[in-house]
Amino acid sequence: MPTATAAAQTRAPALLAEGISKAFMSGHQRTQVLDGLTLSLDAGELTLISGPSGCGKSTLLAILSGLQKVDSGRVRALGSELGQLDLRALERFRLQHTGFVFQGFNLFPALSAFEQVELPLNHMGLSRNEARRRAQQSLEEVGLAHRMRLRPSELSGGEKQRVAIARALAKEPELLFADEPTSALDAANGQMIIDILHRIARTHGTTVLCVSHDPRLVVHADRVLAMEDGRILSDQRPPTPAAQDNGIPS
């Protein structure tokens, strides 16, 4: 990243999408998924995107993380115009600056929790020692230090998702994307996962963008964007959980 503009970039939004559109063709049928969508995200916050199934949430995450191209509009992430990067540069951008957490955990059945977290770090060119240090630290941060020798089949759903979060976190990404990370979990585990993501945003200054249609998660986010018809319909900051819980038993 160029240093001359670093000061200006700290004030710029971490992620900015302006008027992005995306359509898919299937046969003769054209589906306009994103339709001039604009959004701006700041570092250090957990933003939740809600919206009905099929409204384009996963497509939006894929575009904002540089995995898919827009038809029109532009995406500026951490000072880079993603549309101007070639495939190699995009791949490097994703590897160095983004982390992803999915609904289905995406863990390798044969690897221990520690190995799952360590593996991508080796691809980033970190030394063996640094990779191990980060893997250990990230697993501690999600409360799994005592389970790190176990494989996915020996872990609960909530624990598996915490391994996946540790794997993303260990890369020390500026941008962390989570696509329905709590959908496969019960309420208590879902809440724990969203709280971990929220804490990561606050303590690491990470820009966390989480997609979910679970209304129970809303109060755990700094900001909630409702998506419909390919655009952001509303942009709200829910009251903090502390204010909500204030003396009122649920």
Q: Does 65 bind ligand ADP (CB under 6 A)?
A: no
Tell me how many residues contact ligand ADP (CB under 6 A): 12
Check if the beta carbon of residue 160 is closer than 8 Å to that of residue 211: no
Tokens of 123: 């691809």
Q: Which residues touch 79 (CB under 8 Å, ≥6 apart)?
A: 1, 2, 5, 9, 12
Q: How far is CA 182 from CA 16, 83, 160, 213, in A?
A: 25, 31, 11, 10
What b/e string do you get for 104-139 counting C-beta neighbours within 10 Å, with b at 16 or more? Answer: ebebeeeebbbebbbebbeeeebeeeebeebbbebb
Minimal distance, residue 167 CB to ligand ADP, in Å: 22
Minimal distance, residue 55 CB to Mg ion, in Å: 9
Which of 59, 206 has the CB closer to ligand ADP? 59
Minimal distance, residue 194 CB to ligand ADP, in Å: 18
The binder of 129, among ligand ADP, Mg ion, none, by C-beta within 5 to 8 A per type, is: none
Minimal distance, residue 160 CB to ligand ADP, in Å: 21
Residue from the set 17, 37, 41, 55 that interacts with ligand ADP by CB under 6 A: 55
What residues from 3 to 32 belong to the interface with ligand ADP (CB under 6 A)? Answer: 24, 26, 31
Pairwise CA distance, residues 101 & 168, whole Å: 7
Check if the beta carbon of residue 159 is closer than 8 Å to that of residue 189: no
What percent of the residues of the chain are helix, what percent strand, and what percent coil, each to the nearest 5?
Answer: 40, 25, 35
Which of 53, 246 has the CB closer to ligand ADP? 53
Could you count the other beta carbons within 10 Å of the beta carbon of residue 214?
17
> For binding to Mg ion (CB under 5 A), which residues are involved?
57-58
What b/e string do you get for 149-161 counting C-beta neighbours within 10 Å, with b at 16 or more? Answer: eeebeebebbbbb
The binder of 24, among ligand ADP, Mg ion, none, by C-beta within 5 to 8 A per type, is: ligand ADP
Residue from the set 59, 103, 207, 212 that interacts with ligand ADP by CB under 6 A: 59
Tokens of 95: 């590897």
Minimal distance, residue 59 CB to ligand ADP, in Å: 3
Pairwise CA distance, residues 15 & 191, whole Å: 25
Which of 58, 116 has the CB closer to ligand ADP? 58
Which of 126, 218 has the CB closer to ligand ADP? 218
Minimal distance, residue 88 CB to ligand ADP, in Å: 22
Residues that bind ligand ADP (CB under 6 A): 24, 26, 31, 33, 51, 53-59
